[in-house]
C-alpha cells in the first residue's frame, strides 16, 4: 500500500511540475457527470486554453477558456465547459499556460458510464481540514477505485475564508481533484465564506445558488442540500418538490441525499439537526429517500433503517423507500479532520456501526442492488451493507434486476509511464487470473498468469522495451473480464 501511495504522489508531483504555473486542476459539472462537465484550473496568466479529444491527436480541437477571479491576488480560475461527452471513454487533453506561453503535458480523464446506465459507482468523503497528509492518503485511495464520480461532504478547511488553507487543501488533494468529478456540499467551516466556497466549484444551480442542487444520473437522483441554512424556506420547498417529482418518476429507483451535518449521531455533534427532523428529514421519510450521506462528525457511522413517520424511538425492519421502510444514513467524516470518539447519546437506538478511524465510503449501484463499503485509511473494510430492491414492482416490471455485474476497478500508475508501472486491481475473486496486454490495434503482445491471493491486488510490469503508445490491459479473474488503458511514453 505504501508503494502504491508513493507512486500516486510521484505521479501527482509530475503533473504539477509539468504545468509549472497551472495548479488546482479540478473537474465539476453543472448537470450530470456527462452533460455540463467542466474542467477548472488556477493560473496567473491572462488567457489560458485547452485542447482535447478521445485520442492523443486532440481531434476535438483547441479552445480558449473562460475566466473568473480566484481567491488570491493575481490568480484567475480558468474554465472550459465540454459539450456532452461520450460515456466510459478517456479524454486526452493539454492545458495552455498563458503565463509561460507553453502547452503542458498530456493528461487524461476517464468519463462516467453513459447517462442511461444502471451500473455505476461513486465515492463519498469529507471533513479533511486538519491533516493534509491524511487527506492525500484518503483521497488517493478513493481515486484508485475509479469511481464514476464522488460526493464530497464539506469542511475542506478549518477557516473557509482563508486562502492559505485552501491552497493547502488543493495541494493535498491534487491527484484526486485532477482525476475525479466531485459534487461538493458546503460544510459549517466552509460557510465562513459561502461566496468563496461557491466560487471554487462548478455545480448545478438552484434558485440562483450552487449550494444546494440535484442531478439525475442512471436510475438515481442525487440531491445535495445546504444544512448550514436549514431554516431556508425556499430550500425546503425545493427539497419537497424535488423528492415528490422523483417519487413519481418511474425511471428513478434510488433517491440519494448528500449534506454535511449528521441527522443521527453518537458523536460530539449529536443534536445539531434535531430541530429539522420535522421538516427536512420528514421530506426524506415522506418521499422514500434511500440513502443519506453526511459528515460533520469525524468518524464513520451507519444507521439502522430510520423512518420517523413510523417511530422516533426504534428502527423499522428494512432499508427501503416504502412507507414502512427506513433511510440508510452514513456518516463518513474521516478524510483528515481530527477524529471524534463515540459518545452516549439519545440517538443510540438509530445507529448500528461506529468506527473511530479515518475513512471513506465506496458505493456500487448495480440495477436494483446497491453495495455500500466503508474503508479505513489502510484500505481495510470497516463496514458493508447491501440494499436490495429486486423484489419490488419497479424492478420486476422494468427488468432492471437483470443488469450485468459492475466491472471491477483497475488503476494503472503512473499513467502515462515510461514502461515501468504497477496496476492495482480490486475484486472479490481469489484464485488464478490471466493478465493480457494489447496494443491499440488489438494485438495481444504480453500474457502473464498470476495467483490473486487477496481482494486488493498489485502487480508490476516492465515494458520499457516496447514502443510508445496507448495500450490496453485486460484481467480475466473468475467470471469477470476487466480492462483499463494506459499510455507508454518516453
| Structural domain for 455, as ranges | 410-488
221 and 352 in a single domain? The answer is yes
On whether both 46 and 101 belong to a single domain, the answer is: yes
Residues 336 and 461 in one domain: no
Q: What is the CATH number of the domain that holds 437?
A: 2.60.40.2550
- Whole-angstrom distance between the N-terminal and C-terminal Cα of the chain? 27
Closest by CA to 27, choosing from 150, 196, 164, is 150
Tell me: do 366 and 274 sit in the same domain: yes
- Residues 419, 369, single domain; the answer is no
- Residue 470 shares a structural domain with residue 454: yes
pLDDT above 60 (res 398): no
In this prediction, residue 383 carries a pLDDT of: 93
Count of the separate structural domains present in the chain: 3
Poorest-confidence range of 24-28, 244-248, 290-294, 380-384? 380-384
Sort residue 264 into left (φ over 0), alpha (ψ -120 to 50) or beta: beta
Q: Which of 110, 145, 173 is the last residue of a domain?
A: 110
The residue among 55, 77, 110 that closes a domain is 110
300-320: per-residue pLDDT in tens? 999 999 999 999 999 999 999
- Rounded to an integer, the average pLDDT of 334-343 is 95
C-alpha cell at 233: 424556506
Instruction: Please name which of 378, 419, 426, 429 lies closest in space to residue 145, comparing C-alpha atoms.
Output: 426
The per-residue pLDDT for 397 is: 62
The pTM assigned to this predicted structure is 0.80
**Whole-number average pLDDT of the chain:** 91
- pLDDT tens digits along 127-172: 999 999 999 999 999 999 999 999 999 999 999 999 999 999 999 9
Residue 364 pLDDT more than 90? yes
Same domain, residue pair 200 and 332: yes
For the ranges 25-29, 252-256, 370-374, 410-414, which has the lowest average pLDDT? 410-414
- The predicted structure's pLDDT at residue 407: 61
pLDDT in tens, 74-125: 999 999 999 999 999 999 999 999 999 999 999 999 999 999 999 999 999 9
Separation of alpha carbons 196 and 292, rounded Å: 26
- Judgement on whether residues 306 and 376 belong to the same structural domain of the protein: yes
150/186 same-domain check: yes
Non-local CB neighbours of 331 within 8 Å, separated by 6+ positions: 262, 265, 267, 294, 295, 296, 297, 299, 300, 301, 302
The verdict on 243 and 144 lying in the same domain is yes
pLDDT tens by residue, 187-232? 999 999 999 999 999 999 999 999 999 999 999 999 999 999 999 9
Question: Which CATH number belongs to the domain containing residue 316 in this structure?
Answer: 3.60.21.10
Which of 385, 402, 419 terminates a domain? The answer is: 402
Helices 2-18/132-144 angle, 10° precision? 100
Looking at the fold, whether 457 and 337 belong to one and the same domain comes out as no
Tell me the CATH number at 39: 2.60.40
pLDDT at 487: 84
Say if residue 391's pLDDT is above 90.
no
Are 154 and 43 members of one domain? Answer: no
Average pLDDT of 437-448?
85
* Residue 389 CB neighbour total at 10 angstroms: 22
Amino acid at each position: 500500500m505504501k508503494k502504491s501511495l508513493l507512486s500516486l504522489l510521484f505521479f501527482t508531483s509530475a503533473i504539477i511540475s509539468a504545468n509549472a504555473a497551472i495548479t488546482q486542476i479540478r473537474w465539476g459539472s453543472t448537470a450530470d457527470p456527462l452533460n455540463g462537465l467542466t474542467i477548472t484550473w488556477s493560473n496567473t496568466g491572462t488567457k489560458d486554453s485547452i485542447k482535447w479529444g478521445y485520442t492523443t491527436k486532440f481531434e476535438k480541437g483547441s479552445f480558449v477558456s473562460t475566466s473568473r477571479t480566484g481567491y488570491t491576488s493575481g490568480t484567475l480560475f480558468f474554465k472550459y465547459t465540454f459539450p456532452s461527452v461520450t460515456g466510459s471513454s478517456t479524454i486526452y487533453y493539454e492545458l495552455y499556460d498563458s503565463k509561460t506561453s507553453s502547452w503542458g503535458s498530456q493528461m487524461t480523464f476517464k468519463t462516467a458510464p453513459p447517462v442511461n446506465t444502471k451500473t455505476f459507482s461513486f465515492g463519498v468523503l469529507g471533513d479533511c481540514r486538519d491533516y493534509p497528509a491524511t487527506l492525500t492518503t484518503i483521497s488517493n485511495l478513493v481515486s484508485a477505485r475509479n469511481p464514476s464520480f464522488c460526493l464530497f461532504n464539506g469542511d475542506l478547511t478549518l477557516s473557509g475564508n482563508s486562502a492559505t488553507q485552501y491552497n493547502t487543501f488543493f495541494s493535498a488533494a491534487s491527484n484526486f481533484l485532477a482525476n475525479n468529478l466531485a459534487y461538493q456540499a458546503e460544510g459549517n467551516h466552509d460557510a465562513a465564506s459561502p461566496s468563496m466556497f461557491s466560487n471554487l466549484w462548478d455545480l448545478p444551480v438552484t434558485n440562483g445558488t450552487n449550494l444546494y442542487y440535484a442531478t439525475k444520473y442512471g436510475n438515481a437522483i442525487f440531491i445535495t442540500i445546504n444544512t448550514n441554512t436549514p431554516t431556508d424556506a425556499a430550500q425546503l420547498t425545493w427539497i419537497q418538490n424535488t423528492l415528490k417529482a422523483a417519487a413519481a418518476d418511474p425511471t428513478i429507483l434510488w433517491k440519494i441525499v448528500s449534506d454535511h451535518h449528521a441527522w443521527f449521531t453518537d458523536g460530539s455533534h449529536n443534536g445539531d439537526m434535531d430541530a429539522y427532523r420535522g421538516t427536512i428529514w420528514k421530506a426524506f421519510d415522506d418521499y422514500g429517500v434511500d440513502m443519506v450521506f453526511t459528515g460533520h462528525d469525524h468518524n464513520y457511522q451507519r444507521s439502522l433503517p430510520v423512518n420517523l413517520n413510523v417511530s422516533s424511538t426504534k428502527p423499522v425492519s428494512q432499508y427501503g423507500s416504502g412507507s414502512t421502510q427506513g433511510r440508510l444514513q452514513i456518516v463518513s467524516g474521516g478524510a483528515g479532520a481530527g477524529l471524534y470518539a463515540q459518545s452516549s447519546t439519545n440517538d443510540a437506538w438509530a445507529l448500528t456501526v461506529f468506527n473511530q478511524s479515518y475513512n471513506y465510503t465506496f458505493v456500487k449501484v448495480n440495477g436494483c442492488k446497491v453495495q455500500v463499503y466503508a474503508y479505513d485509511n489502510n484500505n481495510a473494510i470497516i463496514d458493508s451493507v447491501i440494499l436490495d430492491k429486486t423484489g419490488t414492482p419497479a424492478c420486476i416490471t422494468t427488468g432492471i434486476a437483470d443488469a450485468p455485474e459492475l466491472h471491477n476497478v483497475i488503476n494503472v500508475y503512473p499513467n502515462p509511464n515510461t514502461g515501468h508501472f504497477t496496476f492495482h486491481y480490486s475484486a472479490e475473486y481469489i484464485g488464478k487470473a490471466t493478465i493480457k496486454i494489447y496494443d491499440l490495434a488489438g494485438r495481444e503482445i504480453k500474457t502473464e498468469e498470476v495467483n490473486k491471493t487477496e481482494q486488493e491486488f498489485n502487480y508490476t510490469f516492465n515494458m520499457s522495451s516496447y514502443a510508445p503508445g496507448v495500450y490496453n490491459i485486460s484481467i480475466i479473474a473468475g467470471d469477470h473480464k476487466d480492462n483499463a488503458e494506459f499510455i507508454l511514453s518516453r
